[in-house]
Amino acid sequence: MRRPEQILHQQVAAYLRVALVSGPAVWTTFPAGGGGRVRGAQLRASGLRAGWPDIQIMWKERSRTAFVAIELKSKVGRLSPEQRECHDAIRLAGGLVYVCRSVLDVQAALVALNAPLRARVAA
């Protein structure tokens, strides 16, 4: 993972720890980028799908569970073909995928979805 995306990943994780209400919501992250060929082979052998988004968030919403995946990209980062394919598969399964380039982008997506937030960052 390039440094700008790694920094963004850490900023978003810090935001989610504070802003997302635990209990009705749960989230995790799996920073799979980097590590070289051997690490990539180990992850694939363990079942990691190429292009899987960086962050997954779930919460109970009335009688259903909302699933949102967030792909973090730097200001100039682009989606790979594997990421596009994976995001399409998630959407086909009923999930939502957002590509976010800042903490404010993540917050805007969660606000639009009425995610259980207890805090917001100012613009």
pLDDT digits (tens, 9 = 90+) for 63-89: 888 999 999 999 999 999 999 999 999
| pTM score | 0.89
27: phi then psi, degrees, rounded to nearest 5: -145, 160
Distance of CA 4 to the CA centre of its chain: 16
Does a structural domain hold residue 79?
yes
Terminal Cα-to-Cα distance of the chain (whole angstroms): 26
Express as a percent the part of the chain with pLDDT over 90: 68
What pLDDT, on the 0 to 100 scale, is given for residue 111? 95
Does a structural domain hold residue 123?
no
Does a structural domain hold residue 38?
yes
Does a structural domain hold residue 122?
no
The helix-helix angle for 3-19 and 103-112 (nearest 10°) equals: 40
Q: Are 93 and 66 in contact (CB under 8 A)?
A: no
Indicate the pLDDT class of residue 3, thresholds 50, 70 and 90. confident
What pLDDT, on the 0 to 100 scale, is given for residue 105? 97
Domain count, the chain: 1
**Segments forming the whole domain that contains residue 50:** 3-112
Does a structural domain hold residue 48?
yes
What pLDDT, on the 0 to 100 scale, is given for residue 23? 85
What pLDDT, on the 0 to 100 scale, is given for residue 63? 82
Q: Is 51 left (phi over 0), alpha (psi -120 to 50) or beta?
A: left
Does a structural domain hold residue 40?
yes
